[in-house]
Amino acid sequence: MKKTDIKYTNQRIEILDFLKEFDGHPTVDDVFEGVRQKLTRISKATVYNNLRFLSEKGLIKEVNVKGVSRFESNMIPHHHTMCLECGEMKDYESEELCEYAMKIAAEIDDFKIESADTNFYGICKKCMEKE
């Protein structure tokens, strides 16, 4: 399953471009609305199918938040902070923590680790100021 196997259709290119420029973790609807600016006739099913396709190919990453799929194109191992108030989700990169988690995971019996990620739950700046 090499990268060269991938057919880069217009729809897929626009989806990838949109994800690259989007600041955050868009839902399927976000992607759909965004891509529709350029490809006015694209259907939501195509967005769904291609988001799944691209994440299976390892070009993007799917993150599930409370039962809803979100996507990101940042493929560097990293973590996420989630605001318990407003639901905002942000990247947080800590190489140390990635390595520490992988080291610990390597010691788990009967389990071959492939990846690890950590989610931080708390209150974001905006919501702190609101209170």
Partner DNA sequence: GTACATGCAAACGCTTTGCTGGGCG
Partner DNA sequence: CGCCCAGCAAAGCGTTTGCATGTAC
User: Of 50-69, which residues contact a copy of itself (CB under 8 A)?
Assistant: 64-69
CB of 32 to DNA, least distance (A): 9
Question: What, of DNA, a copy of itself, none, does residue 75 touch, CB below 5 to 8 Å by kind?
Answer: none
By CB under 7 A, tell whether 69 contacts DNA: yes
**Do 1 and 57 form a contact (C-beta atoms < 8 A)?**
yes
Q: Which secondary-structure segment (H or E) carries 102?
A: helix 95-106
Question: What, of a copy of itself, DNA, none, does residue 12 touch, CB below 5 to 8 Å by kind?
Answer: DNA
**Close Cβ partners of 108 (under 8 Å, ≥ 6 residues apart):** none
**Options 3, 7, 112, 125; binder of DNA; rule CB under 7 A:** 7
User: How far lies 50's CA from each of 6, 63, 125, in Å?
Assistant: 11, 15, 34
